[in-house]
Amino acid sequence: ASLPAGVYARLGQRVPAGVKVVVDASGPALAASAAARPFLMKPNREELAEAFGEPASTREEMVGLAKKLQSLGARNVAVTLGGEGALLVDESGGVAFRPAVEGSPRSAVGAGDSFVAGFLYGWSQGGGLDQALDWAVSAGAATAFREGIASGEEVRAVYRRAFGGQG
């Protein structure tokens, strides 16, 4: 059973000041939860299209729908595109795209959650939203390249290979 669409927005409004809220939801809850002004919303392409009943086939369409989420309150919207990569529409209006990391995907299970964890890790390192997106893509890919959830060392190895960072 799923939760009512407005539950994420209500929960988000009760979060203490300074706490960053991340929403990874689908269906009616995705658009409804934007009212809580989450720091990050992470739909995949299909969830984004479903939320508004509009196509999300092209990068331009996805950016337009991400901006719709922002008009409803979301601060940053990261859209995962599976084997195509990810895009981020940030709260300053910037749009960033990262292609998928090259490798041999084995399972998509947990890749979206790993993406969110990588984003938050990258953000916590003080490198801003660009670095957060690099870490997110690395973490999602590292998990997709194995069965189960990637370890921190596996994520760092993908990050070093894909982005040349020290990780």
Catalytic-labelled residue, pool 24, 113, 130, 134 = 113
> For position 1, what pLDDT does the model report?
46
H or E element that contains 89: strand 86-89
- The predicted-structure confidence for 30-70, as pLDDT tens digits, reads as follows 899 998 899 999 999 999 999 999 999 999 999 999 999 99
> For position 133, what pLDDT does the model report?
97
> For position 27, what pLDDT does the model report?
80
pLDDT-derived band at 7, boundaries 50, 70, 90? low
DSSP string, 10-69: HHHTTSPTTPPPEE---THHHHHHGGG--SEE--BHHHHHHHHTS---SHHHHHHHHHHH
pLDDT-derived band at 2, boundaries 50, 70, 90? low
Q: Verify whether residue 113 is a known catalytic residue.
A: yes
Q: How far is CA 109 from the centre of its chain?
A: 15
1 against 13, higher pLDDT: 13
Length of the chain (residues): 167
- The predicted-structure confidence for 95-151, as pLDDT tens digits, reads as follows 999 999 999 989 999 999 999 999 999 999 988 999 999 999 999 999 999 999 999
pTM score above 0.75: yes
